[in-house]
Amino acid sequence: MPKKSSRREVEQTRRERAEQLRAQQRRGERRRTLVIWLSVAAVLVLLAGGTAWGLRSASQEQDAFAATVEEFDVDSEHVASPVDYAQTPPAGGKHNGAWLNCGIYDEPVQSENAVHSQEHGAVWVTYDPELPADDIERLTEAMPSTYGILSPYPDLPAPVVASAWGRQIQLDGADDPRLEQFIREFTQAGDVPEPGAACTGGVDTAVPLQGESVES
């Protein structure tokens, strides 16, 4: 006949069993904690890698963009005569004393007035007059709300050319992503001769020019 356990033995067995359960629970909690921390560490590693990759990608993209932007040393003298500009269209240089009001133009504008607006920090986007209407609309939508000029320009070296003071980029078309980057980077650039000067209150039509042309 089995020996009947004493009350003390029963209590001891219960305590031992409870301690075993608690130990198992602690081991389970440690395992869960370890899994959580390992998961967090893996996510952080992935995020760090993704951030580093993103930074490298952004840096490479910026370098590729910068390589396609031409830079020029240009004069800021005011003149009343026509100017023979070195770039087509101009990217700064000698210019008329009246600046062109920033905005959208459907006819070519006077370069000597547009260059004065560049001196104030405006970006001048020019396009081939034969560009389709949908592309012209796309260019219109891409222009900044202020300090931007859009106009057709005959005999361009590319379908679209964006010019700022001392800088210019030739673009493949209205959907070239470099246009947005050029506008963002060079509108109201800090190194223009007159940053923040007005882009309104000037002229909308060409100011009559007199005399022989001067070289920029």
At 140, which CATH number? 3.40.30
User: Can you give the pLDDT at residue 53?
Assistant: 56
Q: Which of these three, 34, 67, 100, is where a domain ends?
A: 67
User: Can you give the pLDDT at residue 32?
Assistant: 82
Q: What is the DSSP letter of 81?
A: S
User: Can you give the pLDDT at residue 205?
Assistant: 80
> What confidence tens digit (pLDDT) does each residue in 48-74 have?
776 665 556 556 677 788 899 999 999
User: Can you give the pLDDT at residue 52?
Assistant: 60
| Same domain, residue pair 98 and 188 | yes
Q: Which of these three, 67, 98, 118, is where a domain ends?
A: 67
- Is the Cα torsion angle 125, 130, 136, 139 positive or negative in sign? negative
| Same domain, residue pair 136 and 36 | no
Q: Which of these three, 16, 34, 67, is where a domain ends?
A: 67
Look up the domain containing 166 and give its range: 70-206
| Same domain, residue pair 74 and 158 | yes
Measured between alpha carbons, how far is residue 120 from residues 69, 74, 98, 136, 210 in Å? Answer: 20, 14, 11, 25, 24
**Coil, strand, or helix at residue 32?**
helix
**Coil, strand, or helix at residue 124?**
strand
| Same domain, residue pair 45 and 81 | no
For residue 116, give the H/E element and its range.
Answer: helix 111-119
| Same domain, residue pair 30 and 119 | no
| Same domain, residue pair 97 and 166 | yes
CA distance 92 to 111: 10
For residue 184, give the H/E element and its range.
Answer: helix 178-186
Give me the residues of the chain with pLDDT under 50, please. none
User: Can you give the pLDDT at residue 207?
Assistant: 75
**Coil, strand, or helix at residue 164?**
strand
| Same domain, residue pair 173 and 107 | yes
- Residue 74 CB contacts under 8 Å (≥ 6 apart), including other chains: 91, 92, 93, 165, 166, 216
User: Can you give the pLDDT at residue 4?
Assistant: 55
Asked if residue 124 lies in contact with residue 169, where contact means CB atoms within 8 angstroms, the answer is: no
User: Can you give the pLDDT at residue 57?
Assistant: 58
User: Can you give the pLDDT at residue 10?
Assistant: 62
Name the one residue in this structure whose structure tokens are 């005999």.
155
Q: Is residue 185 part of a domain?
A: yes
Asked if residue 99 lies in contact with residue 116, where contact means CB atoms within 8 angstroms, the answer is: yes
| Same domain, residue pair 61 and 101 | no
CA geometry: angle at 151 spanning 155 and 154, to 5°?
A: 10
Other Cβ atoms closer than 10 A to 180: 12
| Same domain, residue pair 153 and 101 | yes
| Same domain, residue pair 175 and 85 | yes
User: Can you give the pLDDT at residue 17?
Assistant: 74
| Same domain, residue pair 13 and 57 | yes
Structurally, the chain folds into a number of domains equal to 2
